[in-house]
Structures are given as structure tokens and as C-alpha cells.
Amino acid sequence: MGIRFDAVTVAYDGNVVLDALDLTVAPGEVMALLGPSGSGKTTALRAVAGFVRPASGRVFLGDRDVTDLPPHRRGIGMVVQQYALFPHMRVEDNVAFGLKARKVPRAEIRTRVAEALEMTGMGAYARRHPRELSGGQQQRVAIARALAIRPDVLLLDEPLSALDAQLRSGMLAELARLHRELPDVSILYVTHDQVEALTLADRIAVMDKAKLRACGTPRELYRAPTDEFTASFVGGANLLPVTVGATGVRLGEAELKADTAGAAVGARATLCVRPHLVGLGEGPNRLTGTLSEIQWRGATHRLYVEVDGHRVMADLRELRDPPGLGDEVTLHFAPDDAVLLPAGVGHD
Amino acid sequence: MTEAVREVRAVRGRPGAPGGSRRPSTAPRPSATRLLWALPPVALLALVFLYPLALVVQQSFQPDTGGTSVQPYADVFASEAFREALWTTVWLALGSTAGCLVLGFALALVIAFVPFPGARAVSRFIDVFLSFPSFLITLALLFIYGTVGMANGLWTDVTGAAEGPFQFLTTPWGVLLAEITYFTPFVMRPLLAAFSQLDTAQLEAASSLGARAPRIIRQVVLPEALPALAAGGSLVLVLCLNEFGIVLFTGAKGVTTLPMLVYGKAILESDYPGACVVAVVNVLISVGLYGLYRVVSRRAGA
Ligand SMILES: Nc1ncnc2c1ncn2[C@@H]1O[C@H](COP(=O)(O)OP(=O)(O)O)[C@@H](O)[C@H]1O
Ligand SMILES: [Mg+2]
């Protein structure tokens, strides 16, 4: 069953925190809702779960308009950052809670609890209380509890952000596996972490300031972002203010080759280049400036180079002989690796 | 908790530590100081509380005929009035406590979870209510339901009858009503504190799993509220066992509780040994029931 937002607007005390959201999550699809803190992601998710009432617009699950349905009648699985397990219940009773509420026959409850715990690798912990589990284990139980009711729609609100980095990447792989095992479940995955979104999602919806900025596959958003906010939030980007010419663009004095299709000559625009696609030394699109900062990141060096007053970032395979601060540095990038964006539309 | 205490002690003990090499003989001083500090409160407690209590117990073994015997106990236990007062006291206290727990839980649920304008004001008012004297509520009930109260006045005015229908205030039910009204906030206070600690994400999780309000209250809210219910309930139970003002002010002639019996024996009959016997029994029941309550609530995992 898919999820559809139809111009959903949510306001608190006249303060619009979700502005006419239009978004469709296909059946079986993983949609990441990605954006900085306060951009309205949780609000959108809670509108699906039924905990916030839209001021206007409708929410659909499949073909069913659920906007006026109370949460307990929506049949949605939900997992939140802080797990929200019932502390006085054993793991198995936590997982059985939804089944009992739905009056599932006793005998069936036992098998479905075991099944859900097995699926999340928590079978051995059925008799424990939540306080006897680690954070990662608690989150697995929360996921098992949500899956036990066999929802068609699973809502995940920053499910990994309370875990440490190592556990997080493990859980990310677990979530991907779970989705392969349950290919029909639509997942709305709220996160502010672009790595989680890029790793897990079939499509990413980028949110900023209560608005949907862009929506597409991770590859589309990464390779061909359509606005500045998306370009810098998903993957990081050099955003260079340029003027469109006949065969390329001008950045200050420098002439750069780029695909200018669709842009009017003389117009102002933004050239987006990923830092890891910038190389050191002479090349087709040459930028020369002074090195203002250099960071060693193990496998790579991150260089910050001031070019005509613009800071250009370059991620280079670890340099054997890195330049010093204040040195003149020449960078280049392939014309195909640059994307021309309309100026200043995205992030204001 | 114990760790914090240990830490405080460690910090307090520290002044001696750096000077350790200078005056090693002062090591046991802190414990002596602590004893000295403990002395005044213990002495005060003994003087104002334990000594009078001991006097009461002593008096209860000294019949008017002189000497020391258990005769006052035999006399009191044999009297019909005492046994009736004992029963009345216990069932009134248990009934009031049960009523307070049910009513307090329901009201606290509404105040904590049903958003309505003025919920905070109501919550404040409960704090103020706790400071009211207990007879005040009884007076208020008298104004409303008393023999010449508003309700009956309205009835007689409208129907022309000689008497109104509300005569329950002078019965045990009137006392029960007054005690429940007065003591319910004592249960609500700890409950509201507990509810404010409750994770709303748990309630939402339960709701999205398909549970309606009654199931959520029973299986998610109630277990979390048990310690608060136990605390409020045991307090109210003890307060009800010893309540005097409410019973006196309802003017219920037939309702004699143990404190009323003490009052009657001591002031009206000048039977001091008898009064002391009843008082001792009253204290024992309070302490006993309270202890039982604590044991039970600890067993329940509170
Ligand atoms: N119950 C609420 N009352 C008032 N404002 C709220 C409430 N919940 C969220 N907001 C506001 O709505 C905005 C979006 O919040 P949220 O959807 O939680 O953002 P995100 O999940 O993207 O961090 C924030 O500015 C937040 O302060
Ligand atoms: Mg959020």
C-alpha cells in the first residue's frame, strides 16, 4: 500500500511547519524524507500516523483517505528515535501488544511474536525487560513490535540517531535486509543524515523550511541536483556563482566549459561541482587560487582553495606531498562533472 | 542514589584528607561529629513525640481503680461501642481510599491528557486545595446537602414538602463523600507528577499499534502510575483512619470512628484509660495497615 500526501499543510498557532506537501510513496518503496532539523520531516510523518491534523490537504494510504481516521485505525507501523518501548513489559509482551490490541487469536500471537523477534535477531531476548537491553537491541525490539502487526506502511523517524556510529552502519544494513524480506511494505524513513538516505532509499524527498525542495532517486539527486539546497545538503557541493556565456560560463576572470543548455546567455547561474570530482593540477576547467586550509582525512585530503574570493573544496586521494598553506594551487574538473543550476532559487 | 550519598560523604570527609599527615589522630572525628549532629533532632523527636506516646501507652495499662493491669483493654474490647467504631473506622478508611484512588486516577488522567483550557489552573488549584483544613469541605457539603442546605431548600421551595430528600450527610455515606472529596487531591498530586514524566511517545506507539484509550490506560499508563497510586493511597489511608474533623463536622450521630471514640471517652466520659486504649489501637492499626501497604506495593514492583 502506498502513501500519498495531497497538498498537506500543517500549522501550529498559525506557524506553517509543513507547506502544501505533495508526495507519493509507491507500494513497496523506501522513501527517505531528508532535511535539516526543524524542516518539518517529523510533522509529515506524524500526519501519516494520525498524530497531527493537517490544516488542509489529505493523506491517503493506498486509495483510502485516512485524514480523519484516528491513529489506532490506520494500521501503520511506527518506530521513533527513542524506541518508546513499554518499560514494564517483557520484550515478548511489547511485541505482542499490537496483536492483542487487534484481537489476534492467542495461538497465532505466539508464532507471530517469535517470527518478528527472529526477523530482527532478538529471538534470544524475549524474556528480558527493555532496561536489560542495549540501545541497538531496544531499537530492534521497537522494529519487531512495529512489524508484528504486519503493516503495509512502516514509518521510521530517525531510528538510528540515538545509536553510535558503528552500530548505526550495522543497523542500516539490517534495515536494508528487512526491506528485502518484506518487499511489499512501503517505508517512509525520516532522517537528517544523507548517508542513511543515500544508502537505504529508493527515492529521497529533500525538505527545507517546511517545503519539499526536490524528490528523486539518490543517483538523480546526487548527479543532477536541480537546486542549490539539494546539491549542498545531499553529498556536499561547490556552488560557484557564474555568468552564462555562449559556450561555457565565467567565474570572475576564469572561463569554464560547461553544459549551458537551457540557460540564457548573460544570465546569472550557479555551477555545482562535487568536491571529489575536482582534481589537482592542470586540466580542462582550470581554477587557480591560494590554499587556505587543508585537512587530512585518512584516505583523502580535503583542500580549501580561495579562487577569486570563492572558496572551492576538493577531495583528493591522500597526497604524498601536500601543498602548504598559502601556496598557489591549481585545480581542475571535467566539464561533464559540473551541473548548472538556476541562481539562488533553492536556498534563500 | 546511594552513590550520590557516598560521594557527598567523600566530599565532606575531604577536609581531613589533605591534612592527614599533619594530624592523623583526627581520623575518627567525622563520625563523632555526625553523632553530635544527630543528637538534637533525636532528642527533640523523643521529647515531643515518643514521650507523649509512651505516656498514652502507660496510661492505657492503669485502670482508675489503681495498679497496672490489662483490665482497660479487656473492658474496651468487650464493649459493643468499640467494636462498632473499629469496624466503622476501617471500612470508612478503606472505602474512602478506594474512592480517592479511582476518582483521583480518573481526574488526573483528564487533567494530564485531555487538553482543555484551564488544565494548568486546575492543577494549581489542587496544590492550594491540599492546604485547606479538612472541616472546610465538610462545611461546604453542609451548605449544599445539609438538612437546611441549598439542595434541600430548593426542593422544599419547589415541591412544598416539609423535608428535602438529601439526608445522607449525617450517615456514614456523608462521611465517605466528604472524605473522598477532601482526600482525592492527595492522590492526584503524585499522579500528576507521574503523568508528567510519562513518555508521550509510548502512548503514541500504543495507539499506532491499534490500541484504543482504555487499553492504553490499563496497560501503559496504569503500570507506570502504580508507585504514585501506592504513595497517594497509603497516605490517604492513614489520614482517613485518623480523620476527626470531617466526622465531627458532618454531625453524623451514628458514625463513631476510633478518633471520635477517643474524644468521647476522654472529654465527655473522663475515661482516660479507655481513651488511651482506643488511641493505642488506632495507632497500631495505622502503622500496621501502612506497613502492609508498603509491603504489598513493593511486591507489586512499585
Ligand atoms: N507540537 C508542536 N507545537 C509547536 N511547534 C511544533 C510542534 N511540533 C513541531 N513544531 C515545530 O515545527 C517545526 C518542524 O518540526 P519537525 O517536523 O519536528 O521538524 P524535523 O523533524 O524536520 O526536525 C519546528 O520548527 C518545530 O519547532
Ligand atoms: Mg524530527
> What is the CATH classification number for the domain harbouring B181?
1.10.3720.10
Our answer on whether the CB atom of A35 is closer than 6 Å to any ligand 1 atom is yes
| CA neighbor of A202 nearest in space, from A224, A227, A175 | A175
A33 CA closest ligand 1 atom index:
22
Whether the pLDDT of residue A340 is over 50: the answer is yes
- 3-class DSSP assignment, residue B75: helix
- Tell me which chain A residues have a C-beta less than 8 angstroms from the C-beta of B211: 72, 97-98, 101
A80 touches chain B (CB under 8 A): yes
How far, in Å, is the centroid of ligand 2 from the Cα of B180? 44
Nearest to A101 among B202, B210, B223 (CB): B210
Confidence of residue A236 (pLDDT cuts 50, 70, 90): confident
- pLDDT cut 90: percent of chain A above it: 74
Q: Which three cell numbers stand for residue B111?
A: 487533567
Which residues, numbered 283 to 302 in chain B, qualify as contacts with chain A under a Cβ-Cβ cut-off of 8 Å?
A: 301
- How does residue B259 score in pLDDT terms, banded at 50, 70 and 90? confident
B204–A101: do the CB atoms touch at under 8 Å? no
Cα gap B277→B292, rounded to integer Å: 22
Reading the block at residue A211, the C-alpha cell is 517545503
Cβ–ligand 1 distance for A37 under 6 Å, the answer yes
Determine, yes or no, domain membership for B240.
yes
Q: What is the pLDDT of residues B8-31, one digit of tens each?
A: 444 344 443 443 344 445 455 667
- Nearest CA to A83 among B215, B202, B209, B223? B202
- Taking CA–CA distances from B216, the nearest residue in chain A reads A101
Q: Assess contact for A80 and A20: CB atoms under 8 A.
A: no
Q: Which chain B residue shows the shortest CA-CA distance from A150?
A: B209
Residue B53 resides in a domain: no
B115 confidence band (pLDDT: 50, 70, 90): confident
What is the predicted pLDDT for the residue at B289?
A: 79
pLDDT for residue A308? 87
A103-146 pLDDT, tens digit per residue, is 999 999 999 999 999 999 999 999 999 999 998 899 999 999 99
Alpha carbon nearest to ligand 1 atom 1, residue: A12
Q: Whose CA is nearest to atom 26 of ligand 1?
A: A38
Q: What pLDDT score does B299 carry?
A: 67
DSSP string, A1-47: --EEEEEEEEEETTEEEEEEEEEEE-TT-EEEEE--TTSSHHHHHHH
A100/chain B closest Cα distance in angstroms? 9
Provide the 3-class DSSP secondary structure of residue A329: strand
Helix and strand counts by DSSP (H, E) for chain B: 15, 0
- The residue contributing the CA closest to ligand 1 atom 21 is A42
Nearest to A101 among B211, B223, B224 (CB): B211
Q: Are A300 and A318 in contact (CB under 8 A)?
A: yes
Residue A53 in contact with partner chain B when CB distance is under 8 A: no
Dump pLDDT digits (tens) for B119-172.
888 888 888 888 888 888 888 888 888 777 888 888 888 888 877 777 777 788
| Ligand 1 touching residue A16 (CB < 6 A) | no
Look at residue B222 and tell me if it is in a domain: yes
pLDDT over 70 at B71, yes or no: yes
Of A342 and A45, the one with more pLDDT? A45
C-alpha cell at A266: 548573460
- Asked if B157 has any chain A CB less than 8 Å from its own CB, the reply is no
Element (H, E) at A257: strand A254-257
Name the phi and psi angles at A334, rounded to 5. -75, 140
Question: Other C-beta atoms within 10 Å of A318: how many?
Answer: 11
Q: Provide the grid cell at B37.
A: 549532629
For residue B58, CA distances in Å to A67, B46, B67, B276, B286 come to: 74, 16, 11, 9, 19
Q: How confident is the model at residue A30 (pLDDT cuts 50, 70, 90)?
A: very high
Confidence at residue B6, expressed as pLDDT on a 0 to 100 scale:
43
Range of the domain at B234: 59-300
**Of all protein residues, whose CA lies closest to atom 20 belonging to ligand 1?**
A38
Q: State residue B300's pLDDT score.
A: 57
H or E segment to which residue B58 belongs:
helix B51-60
Assess whether the C-beta atom of A213 lies below 6 angstroms from ligand 1. Answer: no
pLDDT at position B30: 64
The confidence score (pLDDT) of residue B184 equals 92
**Long-range contacts from A221-227, C-beta under 8 angstroms, 24+ separation:** A222/A198, A222/A274, A223/A339, A224/A339, A225/A272, A225/A339, A225/A341, A226/A341, A227/A341, A227/A342, A227/A345, A227/A346, A227/A347
Q: Which atom of ligand 1 is nearest to the CA of A13?
A: 4
Angle at A100 between CA A95 and CA A103, to 5 degrees: 145
The Cα–Cα gap between A282 and A330 comes to 7
Contacts of A85 in chain B (CB under 8 A): 202, 205
B122 three-state secondary structure: helix
Q: pLDDT value at position B79?
A: 87
Q: Is the Cβ pair A82, B201 closer than 8 Å?
A: yes
B241, B245, B107, B129: CA torsion to nearest 10:
-130
The answer to whether residue B19 sits within a structural domain is no
Render B183-199 in DSSP notation, one character per residue. HHHHHHHHHHHHHHHS-
Who wins on pLDDT, B170 or A333? A333
Indicate if ligand 1 lies below 6 Å from the C-beta of A111: no
Question: Does some domain include residue B154?
Answer: yes
Q: Span B170-195, mean pLDDT?
A: 89
3-state SS class at A213: strand
pLDDT at B290: 77
Residues 171-200 in B contacting A (C-alpha not used; CB under 8 Å):
199
Half-sphere exposure of A214 (CA within 13 A, CB side): 22
DSSP B215: H
B29-53 tens-digit pLDDT: 667 888 888 888 888 988 888 888 8
CA of B209 to the centre of ligand 1 (A): 23
Instruction: For residues B203 and B197, give the distance between their C-alpha atoms in angstroms, rounded to a whole number.
Output: 12
Pairing mode, if any, of strands A278-280 and A328-333? antiparallel
Whether residue B17 is contained in a domain is answered as: no
Helix (H) or strand (E) holding B214: helix B213-216
- C-beta atoms of B204 and A51 within 8 A: yes
Q: How many domains does chain B have?
A: 1
How many CA within 13 A on the CB side of residue A167?
13
Cα distance between residue A307 and residue A290, in whole Å: 7
Cell numbers given for B70? 490489662
- Does B28 reside within a domain? no
> Which amino acid residue places its CA nearest to atom 11 of ligand 1?
A17
Query: What is the C-alpha to C-alpha distance for residues A127 and A136, in angstroms, rounded to an integer?
Result: 17
Of B203 and A342, the structure prediction assigns the larger pLDDT to B203
Q: Is there a contact between B208 and A74 if contact means CB atoms under 8 Å apart? A: yes
The continuous run of DSSP H or E covering B93 comes out as helix B80-113
Supply the pLDDT for residue B10.
40
CA–CA dist A151, B255 (Å, integer): 60
The larger pLDDT score, comparing residue A326 to residue B161, is at: A326
The helix/strand/coil state of B22 is coil
Is B14 part of the contact surface with chain A (CB cutoff 8 Å)? no
Nearest-angstrom CA–CA distance, B102 and B233: 10
Average pLDDT, chain A: 91
Share of chain B above pLDDT 70, in %: 88
Cell 491499534 locates to B210
Q: Do A86 and B199 touch (CB under 8 A)?
A: no
- List phi, psi (to 5°) of A64: -90, 125
**pLDDT (0 to 100) of residue A124:** 93
Query: Measured between alpha carbons, how far is residue A95 from residues A79, A218, B273 in Å?
Result: 12, 33, 63
Per-residue pLDDT, A184: 92
Q: In this structure, is residue B45 part of a structural domain?
A: no
| B218 in contact with A, Cβ within 8 Å | no
B223 and A88: CB-CB below 8 Å? yes
Choose the residue to mutate in A16, A43, A78 for probing ligand 1, maximizing ligand atoms within 8 Å of C-beta: A43
How far is it, in rounded angstroms, from Cα A304 to Cα A315?
9
Minimum CA distance residue for ligand 1 atom 24:
A38
> pLDDT (tens digit, 9 = 90+) per residue, A242-300?
999 888 898 888 888 988 887 888 889 999 999 999 999 888 889 999 999 999 998 99
